[in-house]
Amino acid sequence: KQEVTQIPAALSVPEGENLVLNCSFTDSAIYNLQWFRQDPGKGLTSLLLIQSSQREQTSGRLNASLDKSSGRSTLYIAASQPGDSATYLCAALQGGSEKLVFGKGTKLTVNP
Amino acid sequence: DAEITQSPRHKITETGRQVTLACHQTWNHNNMFWYRQDLGHGLRLIHYSYGVQDTNKGEVSDGYSVSRSNTEDLPLTLESAASSQTSVYFCASSEWGTDTQYFGPGTRLTVL
């Protein structure tokens, strides 16, 4: 059974800092790895999707990497801003299904 | 623009009552999902559907049911609401191959 873990559960940084959020998964037979953002009281918004054959994906100040062999993904946020404050969730899509298995998220606070 | 909507956004009900939460998507996606989100547990899959007349049980399906009579809608029914079903419920949809799931805004359900 796939298990997805995110460490740390919460992170507080000053504005302008570069930061890394970590995600690990136990079963490497994934189809892809996705990163979502969730604002308080809102639904999830897809940020980046990395296919199993890819090593990384970039969107603006965000860069996500995937290392299937070690069961790890990282989300790198450059030059953080207060507007980046949110909970970030990673999720693994199992091969042969359309089902996502989610981590519990990292709550990020960027202080002005 | 295509979207996914949920109704109601907030619901308070009593133990033992039947409750139905609506989910409607205009993406014309084949796949639809229901999750619940609880502190300490993250997002957990309740039921999912890969198309009309198809429904499948997820990780935490006991006490819930769904039906898929058309592409756009996947209502979630709580047969006899219990206090343990107090949670925030999210609906999502995706298309085969693209894999990204699009999430609705959520329904906050309180069972007293």
Chain B residues with CB inside 8 Å of A93's CB?
A: 99
Q: pLDDT tens digit string along A32-88?
A: 999 999 999 899 999 999 999 999 999 999 999 999 999 999 999 999 999 999 999
B9 with B64: CB under 8 angstroms?
Answer: no
The mean pLDDT of B47-67, rounded to a whole number, is 95
Decide if B101 and A43 are in contact by the 8 Å CB cutoff: no
Q: Is the pLDDT of residue B97 over 80?
A: no
What average pLDDT does chain B have?
94
Closest residue in B to A87 (Cα–Cα)? B42
pLDDT at B96 over 80: no
pLDDT at A97: 75
Token couple for A67: 């290392």
Residues of B in contact with A45 (CB under 8 A): 103
pLDDT of residue B111: 97
Given a cut of 80, whether residue B98 has pLDDT beyond it is: no
Per DSSP, the residues of A15-77 read TT--EEEEEEES---EEEEEEEEE-TTS-EEEEEEEETT-SEEEETTEEEEEETTTTEEEEEE
